[in-house]
Structure 1
Amino acid sequence: ASGAAMAEGEGLISVDYEVFGKVQGVFFRKYTQGEAKGLGLVGWVQNTSHGTVQGRIQGPTARVQELQEWLRKVGSPQSRISRAEFSNEKKIAALEYKDFQILK
């Protein structure tokens, strides 16, 4: 089966994330948005007042897991990720966002 067909067959999930390390001022949000859109995911990303980046990802389970791995290990070129934490993972019937946005 093609990748798209396989993605259709699996359930959608929603997960919240927070990334710690040197992740502000290094275009982390822009790269996260680009990565998410490339994977066909929706949700949002924003800087926090305590120097981390947080957000929510929604989409097919396997694609969400790919972005989680990216948030854990890759990030933007100048970033230095110490860790990524994920919470509130749950199955959803439909996507709650139209696209993946950078919030202020």
Structure 2
Amino acid sequence: MTPTPSIVSTGFEVFGKVQGVWFRKYCVENGNKLRVVGWVRNTDRGTVEGIVQGEADQVEVFKQRLKTGSPKSRVDRCEYTSQATIAKLEYSNFEKR
């Protein structure tokens, strides 16, 4: 019997030069490639925040890609909050807000 993959949800906030450099588009593209769901948006603090949900291993890859950032961005640090195992996905795709 194949084990069911663990589905997780993680909040994130990315600090650095991440606004006006196609960072949100980069997140959406990577979210779609990795088949994770959630959302990303700019904040008034000059950061980008969001939620990512999906299979635990794919969420980990997404988190690594957040650290790399889009070609014109500069990521100083990423903070992750409230990672938890969830019963089902709360979103149907990965979107920019």
TM-score, normalisation: structure 2: 0.96
How far 1:10 sits from its partner (Å)? 1.3
CA distance, structure 1, for counterparts of residue 76 and residue 39 of structure 2 = 21
Q: Which residue of 2 aligns with 1:82?
A: 76
How far 1:9 sits from its partner (Å)? 2.7
CA RMSD after TM alignment? 1.2
Q: Which residue of 1 aligns with 2:51?
A: 56
CA distance, structure 2, for counterparts of residue 23 and residue 54 of structure 1 = 10
CA distance, structure 2, for counterparts of residue 101 and residue 79 of structure 1 = 19
- The answer to whether residue 92 in structure 2 is matched with residue 93 in structure 1 is no
Q: Which residue of 2 aligns with 1:44?
A: 39
Which structure: greater helix fraction?
1
Match of 2:28, SS state, is: helix
TM-score, normalisation: structure 1: 0.89
How many pairs align?
96
CA distance, structure 2, for counterparts of residue 60 and residue 40 of structure 1 = 9
Match of 1:65, SS state, is: helix
Matched to 1:51, the amino acid is: G
CA distance, structure 2, for counterparts of residue 13 and residue 95 of structure 1 = 8
CA distance, structure 2, for counterparts of residue 55 and residue 28 of structure 1 = 12
Taking every aligned residue pair, what percent have the same amino acid on both sides? 44
Please list every run of 5 or more consecutive structure 2 residues that lacks an aligned counterpart in the other structure: none
CA distance, structure 2, for counterparts of residue 63 and residue 90 of structure 1 = 14
* Structure 1 residue ranges (4+ consecutive) displaced by more than 4 angstroms after TM superposition: none
